[in-house]
Each structure stands twice: as structure tokens, then as C-alpha cells.
Structure 1
Amino acid sequence: MSSTHSRSVTVERPGEHRLTSGPVPEPGPGEVRVRVAAAGICMSDREVYDGHRDPAYVRYPVVPGHEWSGVVDALGTGVDPALLGRRTVAEGFRSCGRCERCRSGETSLCTAGYDETGFTRPGAFADHVVVPAGLLHPLADDADLRAAALLEPAAVVAAAVRAGAPEPGEHIAVVGAGTLGLLAVQLLSAMSPGELTVIDPRDERAGQALAFGASEARTPKEATEVRGRYDLVVETAGAPSTAADACLLARRGGRVVLTGMFAPGATGIDPVHLSLSQLTVRSVFGAPSAAWSYAVRAFTAGLLDPAALITHEFPLERFADAVALVGGGGPGTGKVLLRP
């Protein structure tokens, strides 16, 4: 590809996309341009393509891509020159930095309105992406950029772990062994839990969870035998019953963190059980800056190995093949990447 042109995958409307080529985007004041190394495809990207995402959280036409890594190759005015050439990832939420929630550090709860790279702004299913320099989280000079593309879901998991406040020796369960669940196992196993149980119906995912540090794996049916056992339950599946199931797994006075994205009609949490069990229930949508820093530190320290989750890689030209695998792939389908 010519250095004067940049390609991108544009979803014009649900079910319709095209690969376009145009001038390389130029960063404005306070912005950087990043040459994309790898971009992950997740279920929310599939929802954008299929037209199933809440209309308040997407603007068509859009270049998707909110999970990505790359190298800074151009700077706007007012940006630190030391960032040029740095390997990096970046937060997706375009928070205002001025509202009360932002000033409290809760940037994913910005009251200025939803605005996120890959959903309302051009994302990284492209050769280049332009983002505010203040959203960057620079990586080590030898960072594996292929693996770093998964630091966005890792940041979501980091937000869940921070919310759950695990302590050494606790009994912990993770519901779901997809990308979020397996990353959660890696982070939680570093906390020296007394027990770390993963609950998923898929045998191959259970095997991965054990390899990543879980002490046991159970199917959802087998999990009914350990209801009321866990100090902390981290739900990552977003399946119709998993929010309610997670609350049943927690002990009285336990904590539950919901990170899965639920569809309307999901089974509700029983308020009688909730009040009698005195549970603390938190939810996570996206990740604030502190969670991004946490995930990057864990990655740099070797506590996270996202590369082990990657099973498929495609060029931009094969976006249709790549997105078809997400949510519709066989048991051997893990994380799918686009590699511009």
C-alpha cells in the first residue's frame, strides 16, 4: 500500500461493507496517527455488522475496530515528540475529562454522552487510526503487538477484577470461558486464590482455563452443586441466564461482577435472593483509564498472555470471512484478528 493512501473497512449500514482507499488521515491538534498492527473482532463488532447494536451506541457509516495495537507514525501539534515511533494501545471511550464522573476517574461513565472509537468514530479496521494522544497507553519497545490487540478486553476484565477486589485465599468463580473469561482467569490466578473455578459448557474452553491457572472447570449443570460457595463471582458470558446464575453461585455476603453484554429478555436477578443473601453486585461496561493502566502493567509484567487466545488472522480484504467466524465459528474458534 502506498504511503500516501490508507485502506479501511467501512460498514455503510447493517449487512453492507466495503473496503475503501483514501488519503492517509492527518492528526489534528493533540492527536496522533497510529499505523495499525492488529485489530481484534469481538461480538460487539458482529452486532454492528448485523445491525443488532443499540442505535444509541453506533453511528453508520462507521469504520469498526475498538480492540487494536500499533505504532505511532505521525503527531499533531502540541503532542510530545517522544511518542513518535512508540508501540501503543489506546482507550476507546472519548471522555470529556471535565464532568464530575471524569474528574472522579470514572471515565467510562462520562456524562457528556457516549462516544467511542470504532462505534461513533473511525476505528482500527484500517491501515491507520487517529486518536487523541491523551488516550494512549504506550507499550514496551519489544511488546508483542499481535498480543497487545487484546488489551482492550483485558482492560474490561481489569475493571471487573478491580471492582471485585479479590483477596488471597478466596474462593472465586468465573462464569464463561470466552476471551473475557480466559483473560479473567489469568488475572485472578495472579491473586493467589484458594480456589478458582471456571464454568463453561465447552470442554475445549475448560481445558484452556485449566492451562491458564484455574483449579477446576465445571459445566453449568455441575455448577449447581456448588451454589453459595464463592466469595467472588466474575460473570463474563452474557448468556440469557448467567447473571442470575452468578448470583446463585455467590456465598451470602459475597460479591458478583457482571461483565457480559446481555440482550433484552435475559433472566433477571431474584430480588428476594439478592436481599436475603446480602450480595454486592457490580456491572462493568468498558473500562476507565485506571483499568487500562492495570491491564498494560499486567501485560508488561507477563501476567497476561493474550496471544494464546488468538486462533485466526485475516487481511482487511477478508473482513467478511473474519466477522462470520465471530459468534458463528466452531469450537476451535478463539480470538479473530484483522492484520492490516
Structure 2
Amino acid sequence: MSRAGGGPDGRATDGDAVGRDRGAEVSRSIVVERPRHHRLVHGAVPEPGPGEVLVRVAAAGICRSDREVYDGRRDAGYVHYPVVPGHEWSGTVAAVGAGVDPALMGRKTVAEGFRACRACERCRTGETSLCTGGYAETGFTEPGGFADHLTLPAQLLHPLPDDADLRAAALLEPAAVVAAAVRAGRPRPGERIAVVGAGTLGLLAVQLLAAAEPAELVVVEPRSGRRAQALRCDATAVCTPEQAAQRNGCFDLVVETAGARSTAASSCLLARRGGRVVLTGMFPPGAAGIDPVHLSLSQLEIRSIFGAPSSAWLYAVRAFSRGQLDPAPLITHEFPLEGFAEAIALVGDGDPGTGKVLLRP
């Protein structure tokens, strides 16, 4: 099962790798061969090809998208089986391929997930998450971070400070998505802002939005434990969805992060006339639509977010490096690779005590 490691095509390469002698070291990976079927694969440590790096994974987060891959509920155009999942990860550069700066050796790092072509019109304008060169993403169509090692193009790396907490840095992928939402929402000091949902995306959004010094930063969340955590993340107030409905039309900016059946529509109702709404949740089929009459009369500005462009990654990494973003308190469970089955079962099970779940190779 060579796809468990190696370059983007799943094959080991013969590039001139710079790094320690890995000898007969074994590299393990979780391979989801088809929905609901996985196995722990042992193989040789992959070699980075030209322009690539080999990363030793320190931690990898599991999110609902990974659960969708495992259950077979992700759109067929956005996953290739068999696959090593894991698009949220952090690690250390263990080797570099030909043409890659040797100074990257030993650097703590995260990396963008989208394998953008960097040549199409969208990429050249900086919108790498809208690449028209074809969809390819680490952990979905390319081997991901549920492994001891992975290889990827060096140009996707975002190196971290030497003292970075790699456990917390595994959450920089969702933080980059949130950064894209915050940039799209353009928060201004003194505004009234609502965040719908207090999962990982919502709590990270609260941290980034608090830096804009809003007059109000209200989190809408049905679970009491998550509401309490939102207050610890600098929300100024919390409420249930029923309580929030009493403030429809009050907020300058609404950032939706829940991806529930009703939250796209309800988020638009929360916004004032002329307000801004950013949708970041991944909605299920049959989710409630946005009322076009309300939309036209309210003159709302609505943006949706899928993944993160390079600029959002830079924003999130800088905020993390400067201490403005602290994902560590969101982590509630950690498992070795051998505990994948138990770990994936926790994600999306509805337990309010389950926050971010990590695999620690």
C-alpha cells in the first residue's frame, strides 16, 4: 500500500533528500481503504521528491470532514479512496528533497492543505482556495497526517517559531479557515458581532474577532458547556438560539460556524439591514435555505468559505506565533494512531464534552 507514504502520487522517489539516515525505520499510517474500513499500515519512511519535504507528524486533529470520509458521506469529487486522512496537522521537517532550502531541516511547521496549481487566474490573484486547476487536498485526495510521516510540496509550508507548541499548532488548519472568514467579514472596532456555533471553528473565531475590539461579541450556542467556554475565549455574552432570535436584525457582522440545518437562514436573520454574514459551516443536504425576500429587502452582504487561501494561512500563523490565538484549550482527547477507531467514533457523536480530538503519532 505505497500510497500510505511517498510523494503526491503515492510513490517513493529517488530525489536527493537531505536529512538523517532513516535506515530501516518504519513509518505507520492509517489507510481508509473504503468507507468504514481502515487499517494501520507499516512501511518504509517515504523519501521527499524534488521540491518536496518530509515531515515527521507531531499531532493531527480529527474533524467532521474526516468523519465524513470515514463514513463515506463526503462528495465523491472531494475524496479518493484509499486515502490516508488528516488535513489538520503539525510536525517537524525531517528531510528535504532536491531544490529545497536545507535550512528548513528541523523546523517546526504546518502547511496548506490545498494543492493549488499556482498558475491559473484564481491562484495568480491570491485566491488559491478557488484554484481552477482541479481539486487536490492533503488528507482527502493526497496522503495526510494520520501517519508518522508525510511528504508534500515545500511551497505549502508555513514554518513556526522554535518554541511553538506543536500540539496546539495542529489546529492551525481550522484557524486558517476562520481567518478567511474574519478577513471576509471585515470586523471593525465598536461593531456588534455574533458568532453562531461554539465548536472548534466558533471558538477560534471568537479569539480572532476579539482582537478587532467589538462593542459586543455574542456567541449563539445551544450547549451550556460550550457557552461557558466561549466566555473564556473572550466572548462578551452568550445565548441560546431561542434567545438570539429575540435580537434578530441587531448585528453588524454574523459569522456562522455551526453548519447545522437551520443556521445559514437564522444567521441572516440576526444581521441588521446592510449587515454582513459569513458562512463557514459545512451544511448537510436539505439544510434550510435563505429567504430571498429577506435577503433583497435587507441588502445583506453574504460570503461563504470553503478552505483557506494562502493569505488566511499567513494571518492565522502570525496570530498564533504572536500569542493572539491559543487553540490548546479546545483539545479534549488525544490518542495514538492505534486508537484511531475510538478517536473517530468520538467526532460528531454529539457529546458536549468532546472538543478537538487529536491523534499523536
Q: Same fold (TM over 0.5)?
A: yes
Among 270, 279, 288, the residue aligned to 1:267:
288
- Could you tell me how far 1:334 is from its partner in structure 2? 0.4
Cα displacement (A) at 1:3:
5.6
Aligned pair 1:299/2:298, yes or no? Answer: no
1:191 maps to 2:212? yes
2:194 maps to: 173
Quote the Cα distance in structure 2 between the aligned partners of 1:297 and 1:210. Answer: 23
CA RMSD of superposed structures (Å)? 0.9
Distance, in Å, in 1 between the alignment partners of 2:78 and 2:25 is 32
Alignment of 1:69-218 (within 5 A): 69-218=90-239
Partner of 2:254: 233
Please give the per-residue CA displacement for 1:172-195, whole angstroms capped at 9, x wherever unaligned. Answer: 000000000000000001110000
The 5 Å alignment of 1:7-22 reads: 7-22=28-43
1:2 CA drift (Å): 8.0
Matching residue within 310, 314, 321 for 2:342: 321
How many residue pairs are counted as aligned between the two chains?
A: 340
What SS class does the counterpart of residue 179 from structure 2 fall into?
helix
Identity %: 75
Cα deviation per residue 1:17-49 (whole Å; 9 max; x = unaligned)? Answer: 000000101100000000000000000000000
Structure-2-length-normalised TM-score: 0.93
**1:251 equivalent in structure 2:** 272
Partner SS, residue 6 of structure 1: strand
Q: CA deviation at 1:4?
A: 2.1
Show CA shifts across 1:34-85 (max 9, x none). 0000000000000000000000000000000000000000000000111000
SS at match of 1:192: coil
CA distance in 1, matches of 2:248, 2:113: 36
CA deviation vs aligned residue, 1:282-324 (integer Å, no higher than 9, x gap) = 0000000000000000001111110000000000001000000
Residue aligning to 1:41: 62
Rounded to whole Å, the distance in 2 between the matches of 1:105 and 1:72 is: 26
What's the CA shift for 1:329? 5.0
C-alpha distance after superposition, 1:197-217 (max 9, x if no partner) = 000000000000011110100
Superposition pairs of residues 267-286 of structure 1, within 5 angstroms: 267-286=288-307
Unaligned residue ranges in structure 2 (runs of 5+)? 1-21
Question: Could you tell me how far apart the structure 1 residues matched to 2:297 and 2:360 are?
Answer: 50
- The reply on whether 1:331 has 2:356 as its aligned counterpart is no
- TM-score, normalization by structure 1: 0.99
1:272 is paired with a residue of what secondary structure? helix
Distance 1:118 1:18 in 2: 16
* 2:113 partner amino acid: G
Describe the superposition over 1:221-240 as per-residue Cα deviations: whole angstroms up to 9, x where unpaired: 00111000000000000000
Pairing of 1:56-75 with structure 2 (within 5 A): 56-75=77-96
Match of 1:201, SS? coil
Unaligned runs of 5+ in 1: none
| Alpha-carbon separation, structure 2, partners of 1:219 and 1:3 | 55
Secondary structure (helix, strand or coil) at the match of 1:161 reads helix
| SS at 2:176 equivalent | helix
CA distance in 2, matches of 1:338, 1:191: 33
C-alpha distance in 1 between matches for 2:143 and 2:23? 20
Deviation at 1:264, TM superposition (A): 1.3
Cα distance in 2 for partners of 1:276, 1:71 equals: 52
User: Following the alignment from structure 1 to structure 2, what is the Cα–Cα distance between the partners of residues 277 and 3?
Assistant: 64
Alignment deviations for residues 121-165 of structure 1 (CA, whole Å, 9 cap, x no partner)? 000000001010000000000000000000000000000000000
2: CA distance, partners of 1:269 / 1:303: 34
The SS at the match of 2:187 is coil
Matched residue type, 1:250: A
SS in 2 for 1:260: coil
CA distance in 1 between partners of 2:152 and 2:229 (Å):
34
Separation in structure 1 between the aligned mates of residue 108 and residue 245 of structure 2, nearest angstrom: 45
